[in-house]
Amino acid sequence: MKLFASLDAKDRKLLVGCMATVVLLAVVTAFFARDQNRDDNPLPSSYLTGKHGARAAYDLLQRSGYSVERWQQPLSELASRANAQTTVIVAEPSFVTEEDLKAVREIAARGGRVLLTGSVGGRLAPGGSVRSSTQFQSLCKLAPQGLDPLAASGEVWIAPQAGWAQERPRDRVEYNCAGEPAVVEYAESKGQIIWWASATPLENDSIARAENLNLFLNSLGPREGHRFYWDESLHGEARTQWFYARGPAMNLLLLGFAGITLLILFSFSRRRGPVRDLPAPPRATPVEFLEALGSLYAEAGAAATAVEIACERFRRRTGQWCGIKTAQMNAEELCRALRQRFPQAGESLEADLDNCEAAIKDDKLSPKRALSLVQALHRHGDALEAAMRTKIQPRQPSRPSSNA
Q: Is residue 93 part of a domain?
A: yes
Q: Is residue 3 part of a domain?
A: no
> Number of structural domains, the chain?
3
Q: 158 forms bridges with which residues in the sheet?
A: 140
**How many CB atoms neighbour CB 364 within 10 A?**
8
Whether residue 238 sits in one domain with residue 363: no
User: Mean pLDDT of all residues in the chain?
Assistant: 81
Domain boundary among 234, 265, 296: 265
Whether residue 201 sits in one domain with residue 59: yes
Confidence at residue 212, expressed as pLDDT on a 0 to 100 scale: 93
Whether residue 253 sits in one domain with residue 230: no
* Whether pLDDT at 255 is above 90: no
Q: Is residue 380 part of a domain?
A: yes
Whether residue 206 sits in one domain with residue 103: yes
Confidence at residue 238, expressed as pLDDT on a 0 to 100 scale: 41
Share of the chain above pLDDT 90, in %: 31
Q: Which amino acid is at 246?
A: R
Compute φ and ψ for 195, nearest 5 degrees.
-125, 135
Whether residue 255 sits in one domain with residue 190: no
Mean pLDDT of 271-283: 65
Q: Is residue 75 part of a domain?
A: yes
* Whether pLDDT at 317 is above 90: no
Range of the domain at 81: 55-245
Burial class (CB in 10 A: 0-12, 13-18, 19+), 123: middle
Share of the chain above pLDDT 70, in %: 82
Whether residue 98 sits in one domain with residue 241: yes
Domain boundary among 186, 214, 245: 245
* Whether pLDDT at 205 is above 50: yes
Whether residue 144 sits in one domain with residue 15: no
- Confidence class of residue 144 from pLDDT cuts 50, 70 and 90? very high
Whether residue 228 sits in one domain with residue 153: yes
Whether residue 236 sits in one domain with residue 89: yes
Cα torsion 131, 134, 136, 137 to 10°: value is -90
Q: Is residue 276 part of a domain?
A: no
Mean pLDDT of 310-339: 78
Q: Is residue 270 part of a domain?
A: no
- Confidence class of residue 62 from pLDDT cuts 50, 70 and 90? very high
The HSE-up count of residue 52 (CA atoms within 13 Å, CB side) is 14
Whether residue 254 sits in one domain with residue 210: no
Domain boundary among 214, 245, 276: 245
pLDDT tens string 289-311: 777 777 777 777 778 888 888 88
Q: Is residue 45 part of a domain?
A: no
Whether residue 386 sits in one domain with residue 258: no
The HSE-up count of residue 303 (CA atoms within 13 Å, CB side) is 17
* Whether pLDDT at 110 is above 90: yes
- Between 291 and 188, whose confidence is greater? 188
Whether residue 199 sits in one domain with residue 92: yes
Confidence at residue 367, expressed as pLDDT on a 0 to 100 scale: 81
Q: Is residue 367 part of a domain?
A: yes
